[in-house]
């Protein structure tokens, strides 16, 4: 009888150790899941999903704090890919976080109006704006992800969003 109890206690402790160890490993698994989710996000770093960038949003999804329909730039395609990865039914993008654009937009600076205050350069998450203080700025259309973070800080409101073809033609 005593022996049976002893064995049961031994099994209990071993199981506890196993669970404790797996708890540690969940952190490592969380980090891997974040990495995988981040690979599937469009990397616009626009913050429309209420997080500062794509990586924080991915980490939130991995922790389960954020849903998979908060990324308008990614559109329904990204939502479906995330649904596949996480084994959930696909959902359309939630309009509260912004409208899904049919055509990607890029920022465009009306150069004559630009006073060279470098506020937009600091705001741009992907360094797509070139210029120095008191010198004219311009947007490198190829690198702009259309996150619109530069439009607000501009004191003279000389930045607007345009389609890629309009920018190429102007």
Considering beta carbons, is residue 10 or 113 the nearer one to other proteins?
A: 10
Size of the site for other proteins (CB under 8 A): 36
Pair of tokens at residue 128: 């797509």
Q: Which is nearer to other proteins, 83 or 115 (CB)?
A: 83
Nearest distance in Å: CB 25, other proteins: 5
Q: How far apart are CA 118 and CA 120, in angstroms?
A: 5
> Which residue stretches of 41-161 are H helix?
54-63, 75-86, 119-123
Q: How far apart are CB 42 and other proteins at their closest, in Å?
A: 5
Residue choice 6, 9, 16, 36 for contact with other proteins (CB under 8 A): 36
For residue 121, state whether it binds other proteins (rule: CB under 8 A).
no
Structural contact between residues 129 and 75, judged by C-beta atoms closer than 8 angstroms: no
Q: Coil, helix or strand for 160?
A: strand
Q: Per DSSP, what are the bridge partners of residue 108?
A: 160
Q: What is the DSSP letter of 113?
A: G
Q: Which residues lie near other proteins (CB under 8 A)? A: 3-4, 7-8, 11, 14-15, 18, 21-22, 25-26, 29, 32-33, 36, 38, 41-45, 53-54, 64, 81, 84-87, 125-128, 143, 145
């Amino acid at each position: 009888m005593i022996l049976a109890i002893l064995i049961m206690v031994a099994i209990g402790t071993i199981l506890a150790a196993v669970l404790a160890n797996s708890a540690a490993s969940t952190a490592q698994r969380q980090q891997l899941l974040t990495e995988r989710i981040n690979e599937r996000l469009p990397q616009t770093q626009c913050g429309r999903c209420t997080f500062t960038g794509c990586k924080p949003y991915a980490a939130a999804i991995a922790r389960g704090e954020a849903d998979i329909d908060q990324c308008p730039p990614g559109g329904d395609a990204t939502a479906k890919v995330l649904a596949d990865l996480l084994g959930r039914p696909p959902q359309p993008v939630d309009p509260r976080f912004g409208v899904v654009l049919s055509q990607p937009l890029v920022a465009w600076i009306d150069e004559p109006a630009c006073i060279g205050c470098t506020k937009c350069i600091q705001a741009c998450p992907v360094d797509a704006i070139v210029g120095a203080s008191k010198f004219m700025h311009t947007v490198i259309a190829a690198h702009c992800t259309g996150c619109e973070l530069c439009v607000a800080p501009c004191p003279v409101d000389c930045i607007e969003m345009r389609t890629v073809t309009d920018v190429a033609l102007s």
